[in-house]
Amino acid sequence: MHGTQVHDTQRPVISVRNLWKVFGPKAARVPGSAELGALSRRELLDRTGCTAAVRDIDFDVAPGEVFVVMGLSGSGKSTLVRCLTRLVEPTAGEVVFEGEDILRADPKRLRDLRRNKFSMVFQHFGLLPHRTVVDNVSYGLEIRGVSKAERVKRAKEVIELVGLDGYEGSYPDQLSGGMQQRVGLARALAGDPDVLLFDEPFSALDPLIRRDMQSEVIRLHHEVGKTMVFITHDLSEALKLGDRILIMRDGALVQIGTGDELVAAPADDYVRDFVRDVPRSHVLTLKWIMRPKRDDDPLDGPELGPDVVVREATRSVLAAEKPVKVVKDGELLGIVGDEEILSVIAGGSDS
Amino acid sequence: MVATSRTTVSTRLPKMSIVVRNRGRIVAGILAVWLLLWLVLRGTHTLALGGAQLTTVHHWFNDLNDAIGAGRDSNPLFLYFFDYIRVGIDEFVVFVQSIIAQPSFDRPVPLIGWFGVVALVGFVSWAVANVRVALLATAGFFFLGLQGLWRESMDTLALTLAAVIISLLVGIPLGIWAGMSDRFNRLVTPVLDFMQIMPSFVYLAPLTLFFLIGPASATIATLIYAAPPVIRLTAHGIRSAPHDTVEASESLGSTRTQTLTKVLLPAAKRTIVLGVNQTIMAALAMVTIAALIDAPGLGKTVVKALQTLDVGTAFNAGLAIVVMAIVLDRVTTAAADRGRRNRPYRIVLWLAALPTAFAVWLSYTYVWAAEFDSSLDIGSRIAVWAGDATTWVQSNLAPVTNGVKDVFTLVLIDPLQSVLADSPWWLVAAAVVAISLVVGSVRAAIVSAVCLALIVLSGLWSDSMTTLASTIVATVFTMIIAVLAGVWMGRSRRADRVIRPVLDAGQTMPVFVYLVPFLALFAASRFTAIAAAVVYAVPVATKIIADGVRGVSGTTVEASVASGSSTWQTITKVQLPMSARAVALATNQGLIYVLCMVVVGGLVGAGALGYDVVAGFSQGQLYGKGLAAGIAIVLLGVMLDRLTQAAANRTHRGG
């Protein structure tokens, strides 16, 4: 099914259309064939010896958005993000970046795009072990031919931005995993790209450090406002960071939506299963739990917006004598009373 | 020799499951029939050939040699190809020699004298490795001077350096190519395997056909032997660069060249330096062997001394080779392990370059620093001591050493040699092919048949069988020792820590070095060559078995112990069967090493093919026979290699 499109007023930074990546012999015949394209992964492998890692994916990413791609291991999400800059060459489809189809770019243009427009942060950091932090961070500038003085200056700026000042002269193996990933982040930021790509950047870190780094990304997003495409297998990470989330399964798109959309209106059992353990009051907003106005509702209670998260509305709803009105632009959308709130907080997953 | 990487996986399982089950009994049956027939037929159809006798094949090789010799000045292939290579390499070697080894540029001495070389060696060792090995290197080279072998040592070093430089110039780019391209890697791997399994000095003779006797042939032979390790390890280093880092570099928009120079090569640096280490050690080993085709240096001193059975001189020169091997090995190993350096350290290093340059200038200018003072010579005393010790051993321990030697010769070597060499050739051939079929595969049997047929054709059947007998005896002993030591090392970490460095050191020594002590103990005989071969081959076989035993899953061993097995039962029922493939591989490698050494043993009375090869280098009319003997050695090697590999693969399948 197709997800929500970006607001009409904004032109998307990245538009992906009918993207396929098939591994195996004569992979190119698979996307073109309606018959092969319809097969399940297992059947396709048995029939053709090919594996479809990404199958017929469409999505748009808006400027300044944090777009999360989520799926279990083997769902094709890492392949998908690599297709965006052709680290993995897609088999078919379009990746349009600022009006230009990246799949048609020649090697030189592709290098330019990678040097100036995109940066990627990797799961296992991908640092150069023989270089110091500052040389790692300035690597992208070095290969562009930026002068030494200039790139060191820029590297120091981003090292400070990610909170690593004082470690400029250290080597990667002298740093903890979290600090190494900060170096990876700084390296990605150093070239001042338009889009940051993250490939499960925190899954190799332990949980406490992971939480720190997630907050770090949120902070950086506020400070530098880059468009981000973020790959993860961790739903709570996806909900925490993502403006919108794309869920993948066996290479195909299952659902695109905001966190509360996924939790409140899962597209199928797979998604429902996924979001089952999510604390609903942390994700759902009032618009998902409000009921239509009944005739006997008193209309002099307090007002709240439809996008207020349930958890934050709980106190005021329970404290109010009368049911709360959900109002947007002066229009009454619905009513939320104690009952609705309590059913989310106490209720199971099947409300 | 890295034969571990070769796994010829045959695709078809043999259909003879009954044969497979009773393999041992069938082999015993074949051997019994052979022995019976031998009793009846011994001494007939043995194809024996006297020392100076030649066959038509040998004459044909002689004629070929003469024809090539005659055509050398007119044939365009020589004028425009081989001669250019020969002259180019010759000049390069002479140039390197003129710097440190030979009088040059109208001077009575080389450009840099001993003082400068010792200082340079120390400085370079420090620069690439650390202070400790720099001191070792300085002391080692000073000792070479004390031994009275300065010029010979420098000749060896110059030849080694020249060969290493050419090997690296060729090898590193090829290694990079093999690292980046799967197709080229697939293409080059079997070629490298072949270059390394050939007994090293077999290709000396054919090379002299094209490049004459002299530095060019020696250098090219060294190149063939020494380049494979650096090609292999460079490719391996590049292939094992962390994938994430390479991808990160690409994602930042690096070109291929940038990724290669800034990511892949730095990541592979340590592995490449290890490859350089192996190449240097192989080159040193080969340069000493190349003494057989008149390469100058320590090897020549050893060969001459061996030929006159002068153990004292051979010992002194052999010691010099050992010292040089240790220095080169330690320095390059330490270079691979070197950590990061900070700035002050680098500044001190640059400052140290000044006195080094001064020392070089001194050795250029003053005679005392150019020529090693011969009054300091302790080499002749070492030679005398070693000679005295040998005489003492031979006169006082003769009952023991001769006893050991005679018992082995009478009980093992003679009977086996008699069975192999006195049987009719067709009987041996039939038996060997049959055994290949049973323990190996159909393919191994075909290879055996072809190799044996070609050996018959070479006219050296009888000599080949004598060499084969020595090889088999030496291999059996190698394997007995290797299994004992290997199991011990595999089971005990402490034993491993103690024994492994000894084995490592043993593997870096050039072959000649092993002959000297055995020559002192046992004088010149077949037994001497076999004993040296065993010592030469034991390290590699032991290591493979130790790694195999260690590789057996700890859980399985624990389960065996937990169910009440004794140590002996654990070893024989779990650890050895589970490392059967390692044992087979160790046998394969042991055979190749033994064969290589048994041939060198031709110098110390082993006779047969080894003697034929050596004689072929020195006497013109025996050239063809020597060449044929070299080919026969390769044929034996290929046959034994394929047979043991096939057996190993079959063991692997559990057949």
DSSP structure string for B241-303 = S-HHHHHHHHHTT--HHHHIIIIIHHHHHHHHHHHHHHHHHHHHHHHHHGGGGT--SHHHHHH
**Helices B580-600 and B511-522, packing angle to 10 deg:** 70
Q: What is the CA angle B605-B611-B613, rounded to 5?
A: 155
- Put simply, the answer to whether B340 touches A122 (Cβ < 8 Å) is no
- Evaluate if residue B114 carries a pLDDT over 50: yes
Any A CB within 8 A of B338 CB: no
What pLDDT shows up at residue B63?
A: 80
> Please, is B347 exposed, middle or buried when counting C-beta atoms within 10 Å of its C-beta (0-12, 13-18, 19+)?
exposed
> For residues B184 and B173, what is the distance between their CA atoms, to the nearest angstrom?
12
Topology classification of domain B86-103+150-311: MetI-like fold (1.10.3720)
Q: Minimal Cα–Cα distance from A69 to chain B, Å?
A: 19
Average pLDDT over residues A66-84: 91
Q: Per-residue pLDDT tens for B498-527?
A: 888 888 777 767 777 777 778 777 877 888
Q: Please give the CATH number for the structural domain made up of B27-42+53-74+396-655.
A: 1.10.3720.10
pLDDT higher at B599 or A150: A150
* Beta-bridge mates of residue A196: A119, A228
Q: Which residues of chain B make contact with A131, given a CB cutoff of 8 A?
A: 266
- Evaluate if residue A299 carries a pLDDT over 90: no
pLDDT band at residue B176 under the 50/70/90 scheme: very high
ipTM of the complex: 0.78
- Nearest residue of B to residue A111 by CA position? B253
What pLDDT shows up at residue B202?
A: 67
pLDDT band at residue A183 under the 50/70/90 scheme: very high
What is the number of helices (H) and of strands (E) in chain A?
Answer: 17, 13
Spell out the domain ranges in chain B.
27-42+53-74+396-655, 86-103+150-311
- Put simply, the answer to whether B269 touches A115 (Cβ < 8 Å) is no
Q: Minimal Cα–Cα distance from B263 to chain A, Å?
A: 7
- Nearest residue of A to residue B255 by CA position? A111
Is A16 strand, coil or helix? strand
What pLDDT shows up at residue A36?
A: 81
Q: What is the mean pLDDT of chain B?
A: 82
Which of B3-7, B330-334, B380-384 shows the lowest per-residue confidence on average (mean pLDDT)? B3-7
> Please, is B495 exposed, middle or buried when counting C-beta atoms within 10 Å of its C-beta (0-12, 13-18, 19+)?
middle
Encoding tokens for residue B17?
């499951």
What pLDDT shows up at residue A155?
A: 93
- Put simply, the answer to whether A126 touches B258 (Cβ < 8 Å) is no
pLDDT band at residue B651 under the 50/70/90 scheme: low
Average pLDDT over residues B275-303: 85
Closest by CA to B234, choosing from B280, B169, B179, is B179
Q: Residue B459: left if φ>0, alpha if ψ -120 to 50, beta else—which one?
A: left
Segments in B338-397 forming alpha helices (H): 343-365, 367-370, 379-396
Q: Which residue's entry shows tokens 């009846």?
A: B40
Q: Per-residue pLDDT tens for B377-431?
A: 888 888 888 888 888 877 887 788 888 888 888 888 888 888 888 888 888 888 8
Q: Which residues of chain B make contact with A113, given a CB cutoff of 8 A?
A: 253
- Evaluate if residue B265 carries a pLDDT over 80: yes
> For residues B262 and B118, what is the distance between their CA atoms, to the nearest angstrom?
35
Q: Minimal Cα–Cα distance from B256 to chain A, Å?
A: 11
Which of A70-79, B242-251, B331-340 shows the lowest per-residue confidence on average (mean pLDDT)? B331-340
- Put simply, the answer to whether A87 touches B253 (Cβ < 8 Å) is no
pLDDT band at residue B653 under the 50/70/90 scheme: low
Q: What's CA A212's distance to the chain center, in Å?
A: 17
- Nearest residue of A to residue B269 by CA position? A130
Find out whether B152 and B320 touch, Cβ atoms under 8 Å: yes
Find out whether B433 and B602 touch, Cβ atoms under 8 Å: no
pLDDT band at residue B167 under the 50/70/90 scheme: very high
- Evaluate if residue B51 carries a pLDDT over 80: no
Question: A 207-226 residues with CB below 8 A of B?
Answer: none
Q: Per-residue pLDDT tens for A3-24?
A: 444 444 578 899 999 999 999 8
Q: Minimal Cα–Cα distance from B164 to chain A, Å?
A: 27
Q: Which residues of chain B make contact with A129, given a CB cutoff of 8 A?
A: 245, 267
For A90-126, give the secondary structure using H, E and C: CCEEEEEECCEEHHHCCHHHHHHHHHHCEEEECCCCC
End-to-end Cα distance, chain A: 23
C-beta contacts of B3-6 below 8 A and 24+ residues apart: B3/B193, B3/B196, B3/B197, B3/B585, B3/B588, B3/B589, B3/B592, B3/B641, B4/B544, B4/B585, B5/B189, B5/B193, B5/B232, B6/B193, B6/B645
For A320-340, give the secondary structure using H, E and C: CCCCEEEEECCEEEEEECHHH
- What does DSSP assign to residue A285? B
pLDDT higher at A279 or B476: B476
Find out whether A213 and A181 touch, Cβ atoms under 8 Å: yes
pLDDT band at residue B20 under the 50/70/90 scheme: low
What pLDDT shows up at residue A137?
A: 93
Find out whether B89 and B97 touch, Cβ atoms under 8 Å: no
Q: Minimal Cα–Cα distance from A102 to chain B, Å?
A: 14
Find out whether A247 and A272 touch, Cβ atoms under 8 Å: no
Q: Which residue's entry shows tokens 């009944």?
A: A294
Q: Residue A35: left if φ>0, alpha if ψ -120 to 50, beta else—which one?
A: alpha
- Evaluate if residue B3 carries a pLDDT over 70: no
Total-model pTM: 0.77
Q: Per-residue pLDDT tens for B535-552?
A: 888 988 898 888 888 888
Name the residue among B247, B252, B266 with its Cβ closest to that of A115.
B252
Positive or negative: CA dihedral A147, A148, A153, A154: positive
What pLDDT shows up at residue B171?
A: 93
Cα–Cα distance list, B313 to A116, A137, B327, B372, B394 (Å): 70, 61, 21, 19, 17
Name the residue among A120, A124, A129 with its Cβ closest to that of B251.
A120
Any B CB within 8 A of A2 CB: no
> For residues B90 and B218, what is the distance between their CA atoms, to the nearest angstrom?
10
Size of interface A-B (CB pairs under 8 A): 73
Encoding tokens for residue B283?
């080159």
Encoding tokens for residue B458?
């070479």
Any B CB within 8 A of A274 CB: no
Encoding tokens for residue A16?
């992906």
Closest by CA to B292, choosing from B280, B281, B306, B279, is B306
* pLDDT > 70: percent of chain B: 94
Which of A131-140, B239-248, B510-519 shows the lowest per-residue confidence on average (mean pLDDT)? B510-519
Average pLDDT over residues A226-249: 91
What pLDDT shows up at residue A19?
A: 92
Do the domains spanning B27-42+53-74+396-655 and B86-103+150-311 agree at the CATH topology level?
A: yes
Interface-testing mutation among B240, B243, B252, with chain A (most A C-beta atoms within 10 A): B252
- Put simply, the answer to whether B255 touches A140 (Cβ < 8 Å) is no
Q: Minimal Cα–Cα distance from A174 to chain B, Å?
A: 12
